Amino acid sequence: MNPNFEIKNKTLIYDVLDKAEYGILALCVENQPYAVPVNFVRIDNDIYFHGALKNKKMKMLEQNPYVSFSVVENYALIDSDFSSTEGLACPATQFFKSVSIDGVAVVEKNREIKAEVFEIFMQKHQPKGGYKSFKHSDYDKALKATALVKIEVENLTCKFKFGQHLNEERFNMIVSALLKRGTQTDIQTVEIMKAQQGVKYGV
């Protein structure tokens, strides 16, 4: 990874994970890879997702519990002419935040723990409330029939790509072009670009 892009601040990393509605879970059994989007929550340094007890991913996890998990938060597309006057396509890129995780998947069977985690799922995805607590016996059957899986994180990397590697001229060209295009995403991207430049130069 380009060291200009690497993020080690846990607060920034957790912010990406906590905002994301879903991530991509990657599994592999006998050289057969499989990647699937899953809703998830982060609790401390672990990732939790859920699903049917007997679906494809659960069957694969029984054979190989080692997984990869990734989340991407997209920002502005950078057109090739935003930072170059040579007419080449090569400078075209996308700015983004991403988190990549390697770990071991462990199935959680304890009813109390499952209830606590599903409460956190609901707080994340339905923060307005309006539902019974998972402590209620009405959920007993559903909790028993639903698999809850924890990814115990062994390795985590985070990347923010916002032009930190560019020289001042190209960086300023992109800022000007984004402000001229002026979408909400463009303006958010410029704010993050400037913040990352501040980190780069210690200001």
Residue 54: the pLDDT is: 85
Residue 202: the pLDDT is: 46
List for the chain the helix, strand, coil content (%; round to 5). 40, 35, 25
19-62 pLDDT, tens per residue? Answer: 999 999 999 999 999 999 999 999 999 999 999 998 999 999 99
Residue 203: the pLDDT is: 40
Kindly report the pTM of this predicted structure: 0.90
For tokens 């994301």, name the residue: 20
DSSP secondary structure string for all residues of 133-196: -TTSGGGHHHHHHEEEEEEEEEEEEEEEESSTTS-HHHHHHHHHHHHHH--HHHHHHHHHHHHH
Q: What 3-state DSSP class applies to 119? A: helix
Ranges of residues in the chain with a pLDDT under 50 are 201-203
Backbone angles phi, psi at 85, to 5 degrees: -115, 15
75-86 pLDDT, tens per residue? Answer: 999 999 999 899
